[in-house]
Amino acid sequence: MEIEPAKKYIYSDIELDREEGQVIEDLKAQSQQPIPDPDQWLDEELEQNILLTSVDALINWGRRSSLWTAICFPACCAFEMIAANGPRFDLARFGMEILRASPRQADLMITAGTLTWKMAPNVRRIYNQMAEPKWVIAMGACAISGGIFASAEYAVVPGYNRIIPVDVYVPGCPPRPEALIYGIQMLQKKIARRKNIDVRKILER
Amino acid sequence: MTVALSGKEVASKIEEKFSGSVVESTPENLVVKSDQLLDVARFLKETGGLDFDYLNFVTAVDYYDHFEVAYLLSSLEHNHSLMVKARCYDRENPALPSVTGLWQGADFQEREIYDLFGINFEGHPSMKRIFLWDGFEGHPLRKDYI
Amino acid sequence: MAVRTEPFVLNMGPVHPSTHGVFRMRVTLDGEVVVDIEPVFGYLHRGIEKLAEQRTYTGVIPLTDRLDYISSMSNNLAYCLAAEKLAGIKVPERAEYIRVIMSELQRVAALLIAVGAFLNDCGAYFTPFLYMFRERERIVDLFEMASGQRLTYNYMRVGGVSQDLPEEFMPALRKFMDMMPRFMDEYDQLLMQNEILLARAKGVGILSKEQAINCSISGPVLRASGVKWDIRQADPYSIYDRFDFDIPTQTTGDCYDRYRQRVEETRQSLRIIRQAMEQLPSGPVRAEVPHLVRPPVGEAYAHIEAPKGELGFYLVSDNSIAPYRCHIRPPSLINLTALRDMVRGWKIADLIIIFGSIDITVGEIDR
């Protein structure tokens, strides 16, 4: 009779490889349609109470003035991102010089670079690990549509919005740091419009 | 200036040791029989006067009816180089001996060729996909892919 | 009494602050000692070699920009040399000099980032990086004057460069050349005898000469191990045989030597730029090349000494307007071959430093 070894070898890299490959294939099958624009609800104007508006304004001011970025810089755009953090463009002026290695401490993801199907599950996981509320800026042509690599369909995801919802698109290959800063300001304006307290629910009560 | 050795001259030296191992030789390169590739490679690396101790790169080219794997060898001591090639005619299960035992630098490059062309290098310590994930179907750099 | 521990597998990357992009390692640890690592690539595999087969010879140049994206000019140069070798095109004198100036400036910029990122990995989080970026911005300004782009220059063409230098370029370059040696001295003052850097990097991750050659290592990593092999001198391309410069080498091959090697190479690059500036002739910057280059059937391999090592392009032509096969010899990928042997037996904190001292770009590894 063969005796089962009490403990299996801690890991077999072939098994790990297969498991990871399966995750990628599953995500690829799920994400053939882009995620719809998350901004649609913004068009519905709401009557607002004065007090509630000021609370919103305070919360939004706090949120938009200290956007911390999660590290997710796969490719070329990362260097323009770092240049924007660097001495000349100095993103610290906008309260966001800190790059957080841990997604749990971040609320903004700047997707600087081409996304491949192999990378997609990891990006999705980072996005899921970020605490709410969270925003995403798609930086560069690759992040928007796959860019010049879009025709390498076997490896490249045509845009981050297949995987995660995107708030602001910054075009360019790569975008200049000024363009990125403009994109961040657009996001800040968007956050300023955000309604944290649902007025209708309170009125119904 | 790195001198590109003439394939014909080196071929005659190889023929003395391993007769019938050189399929074709031109001034630029020489094509070796795939089953004797390892012996020829060892000969090129260890023979005095040739001393090809540095492997610049390994790559493959798909010519529809066969794959051609090219090795560019250099000698840092004598500052000369030589392009050695081998061919695989089997499209279903192409295979070549691995040269990682001689030049460790071939390690990742052979895995890359396995991943993108599907050529199996026998004797490689971990012959598995390098860029694409496990479970990916097909070999993208083959001419008939997509 | 010795404590027995079981091997423990730690995943590092692909998203990790010190893996320089999306590189990933599966590290097997015994306590804190690295037993084995298995690098996992492919998180940025964008099929550049496949895409190149569908594009014209000129159309491949923008793709090469995105290979090693912090040294785009060098990539352009290597590709153009290969295409010119294949098609038998002669480049005008002025274009050759402009190419040399650009690729040496690019080397300075890339080595600055390499040194900055290495110090970043040593634990000086972001401060040295910002210093290096201050100077890099000046080089990027020069490139922007010439090409109009900050990162992906797309400046060189088959048969020359895309356009002549603007008239404000040379005064700006002269100004930069006057400033740069002072900055280099400033770094040396800060870092060369830095206690922490010495303690962390001296004697760590030694790569022997024999193993470096056997693993096909190239560039500063090879020269730091004591092999005097620089393609600019061993196999001069373009017009490098006209300049007077030294090939610095180190002796030990540890992390500190690799850092010193990069700093010293920067000084040599500045020397080359100064000579090229003085000799810069006037004339056309582009040979008469048809829009669609159709090289004769054949193959060509051209290699250059890129900031990271030997960057080569192996082109096969079938007399059509697109390359039949375009293989890129990536220095970053091949330099990583020795990583496994270099890190075994070191602590996990040293793994980060050893990996940082090799200096890779993932765009080039995965292509």
Q: At what angle do helices C255-279 and C348-358 cross, to 10 degrees?
A: 20
Pairing type for strands A99-100 and C309-317 reads unpaired
Note the pLDDT of residue A152: 82
Q: How far apart are CA C252 and CA C258, in angstroms?
A: 9
Least confident of A48-52, B129-133, C325-329, C363-367: A48-52
Note the pLDDT of residue C1: 57
Enumerate residues 6+ apart whose C-beta is below 8 A from C187.
C115, C131, C263
End-to-end CA separation in angstroms for chain B:
42
Q: What is the mean pLDDT of residues C191-200?
A: 84
Q: What is B3-46 written as a DSSP string?
A: EE--HHHHHHHHHHHSTT-EEEE-SSEEEE-GGGHHHHHHHHHH
Please indicate if any CB of chain C lies within 8 Å of the CB of A86. Answer: yes
| Number of neighbours of residue A54 by Cβ within 10 angstroms | 11
Note the pLDDT of residue C16: 81
Q: How far apart are CA B64 and CA B142, in angstroms?
A: 8
- Nearest CA to CA, how far is A18 from chain B (Å)? 5
Residue C199, by phi and psi: left (phi above 0), alpha (psi -120 to 50) or beta? alpha
Geometric angle at alpha carbon A126, from A123 and A132, rounded to 5°? 130
Q: What is the mean pLDDT of residues C39-67?
A: 88
ipTM: 0.89
Note the pLDDT of residue A41: 54
Geometric angle at alpha carbon C263, from C258 and C268, rounded to 5°? 120
Enumerate residues 6+ apart whose C-beta is below 8 A from C232.
C240, C245, C247, C304, C305
DSSP state at residue A106: -
The answer, yes or no, to whether the previous bond of A133 is cis (omega within 30 of 0) is: yes
35-64 in chain C: CB under 8 A from chain A: 38, 42-48, 50-51, 54, 62-63
Q: Which residue ranges make up each domain of chain B?
A: 3-122
3-state secondary structure B69-85: EEEEEEECCCCEEEEEE
- What does the block give as tokens for C183? 């900055």
Output the pTM of the full model: 0.86
Please answer whether residues B117 and B92 qualify as being in contact, where contact means their C-beta atoms are separated by less than 8 angstroms.
no
Out of C42, C214, C336, name the one closest to residue B103 (CB): C214
Bigger pLDDT: B140 vs A49: B140
Note the pLDDT of residue A74: 79
pLDDT digits over A106-140, tens only?
888 888 888 888 888 888 888 888 887 888 988 88
Please indicate if any CB of chain C lies within 8 Å of the CB of A99. Answer: yes
Q: Which chains touch B (3 or more CB pairs under 8 A)?
A: A, C
Q: C36: burial class by Cβ within 10 Å (0-12, 13-18, 19+)?
A: middle
Q: How far apart are CA C12 and CA A168, in angstroms?
A: 30
pLDDT digits over A28-87, tens only?
888 888 777 655 554 555 444 445 556 777 788 888 888 888 877 778 888 888 888 888
Are B104 and C215 a contacting pair at CB < 8 A?
Answer: yes
Q: What is the mean pLDDT of residues C252-265?
A: 88
Are A118 and B146 a contacting pair at CB < 8 A?
Answer: no
Please indicate if any CB of chain B lies within 8 Å of the CB of A176. Answer: no
The answer, yes or no, to whether the previous bond of C281 is cis (omega within 30 of 0) is: no
The torsion angles phi and psi of A153, rounded to 5 degrees, stand at: -65, -25
CATH 2.60.260.20 at B3-122, yes or no: no
Q: Any idea how long chain C is? A: 367
C208 has pLDDT over 50: yes
Question: Nearest-CA neighbor of C336 among C24, C4, C39?
Answer: C39
Please indicate if any CB of chain A lies within 8 Å of the CB of C279. Answer: no
pLDDT digits over A132-176, tens only?
788 898 888 888 888 888 888 888 888 888 888 888 899 888 898
Three-state SS at B88 = strand
- What does the block give as tokens for C339? 């990583």
Q: What is the mean pLDDT of residues C10-23?
A: 81
Query: What Å distances lie between residue C20 and B37, B97, C340, CA to CA?
Result: 37, 34, 17
Out of B128, B138, B146, name the one closest to residue A17 (CB): B128
- What does the block give as tokens for A124? 């999705």
Three-state SS at C33 = strand
Average pLDDT, chain B: 85
C72 has pLDDT over 80: yes
Out of B133, B138, B145, name the one closest to residue A24 (CB): B133
- Look up tokens 């990162």; give the residue: C151
pLDDT digits over A190-202, tens only?
888 777 666 666 6
Domains in chain C: ranges and CATH: 57-321 (1.10.645.10)
Q: How far apart are CA A149 and CA A114, in angstroms?
A: 8
C231 has pLDDT over 50: yes
Q: How far apart are CA C141 and CA C147, in angstroms?
A: 10
Q: How far apart are CA A113 and CA B138, in angstroms?
A: 26
- What does the block give as tokens for C286? 């582009």
Are A113 and C7 a contacting pair at CB < 8 A?
Answer: no
Three-state SS at C274 = helix
Q: What is the mean pLDDT of residues C218-230?
A: 89
Query: What Å distances lie between residue A184 and A66, A93, A159, CA to CA?
Result: 11, 12, 19
Among A12, A19, A23, A24, most B C-beta atoms within 10 A, so best to mutate, is A24
Three-state SS at A97 = coil
Q: Tell me the torsion sign for CA atoms C89, C146, C183, C118.
A: negative
Dihedral of the alpha carbons of C87, C88, C91, C92, in degrees to the nearest 10: -130
- Nearest CA to CA, how far is B139 from chain A (Å)? 10
Dihedral of the alpha carbons of C98, C103, C108, C114, in degrees to the nearest 10: 160
pLDDT digits over C281-321, tens only?
888 888 888 888 888 898 889 999 889 888 999 999 988 88
Q: What is the mean pLDDT of residues B67-76?
A: 89
Please indicate if any CB of chain C lies within 8 Å of the CB of B132. Answer: yes
